[in-house]
C-alpha cells in the first residue's frame, strides 16, 4: 500500500477537499498540520517549490496539491 502524507493548515478549504477525496476513496493518509510551524513550512517550500497547501506526498514524492490529486482521480490513477 502506498504511503500518503498531506501537509495542511487549519484554514485551508483545499486541504479539507483533499482529505475528503482521500477518505471517499478509503485511502489512508497521515496529516501534518503546518499552521503554526514556520520551520516545517519553510522545509515544505524548499522541498516542493510551492508556498500553498495542501502539499501531498505519495511514497515520499511530492505530487502537488488538491488539483493534482483530483487529476489523478479523474485519470483513474488514485
What pLDDT, in 10s, does the model give residues 19-29? 999 999 999 99
pLDDT band at 44 (very low <50, low <70, confident <90, very high): very high
* pTM given for the model: 0.94
CA distances 68 to 14, 39, 77, Å, are 11, 25, 11
Report domain extents, the chain. 4-74
Please choose, from the candidates 60, 57, 59, 5, the residue with its C-alpha nearest in 3D space to the C-alpha of residue 28.
Answer: 5
pLDDT tens readout for residues 46-55: 999 999 999 9
C-alpha cell at 71: 487529476
Q: 4-74 sits in which CATH class?
A: alpha beta
Amino acid at each position: 500500500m502506498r504511503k500518503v502524507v498531506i501537509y495542511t493548515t487549519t484554514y485551508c478549504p483545499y486541504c479539507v477537499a483533499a482529505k475528503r477525496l482521500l477518505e471517499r476513496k478509503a485511502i489512508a493518509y497521515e496529516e501534518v498540520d503546518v499552521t503554526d510551524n514556520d520551520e516545517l513550512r519553510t522545509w515544505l517550500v524548499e522541498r516542493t517549490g510551492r508556498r500553498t497547501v495542501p502539499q501531498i506526498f505519495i511514497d515520499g514524492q511530492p505530487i502537488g496539491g488538491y488539483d493534482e490529486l483530483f487529476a489523478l482521480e479523474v485519470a483513474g490513477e488514485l
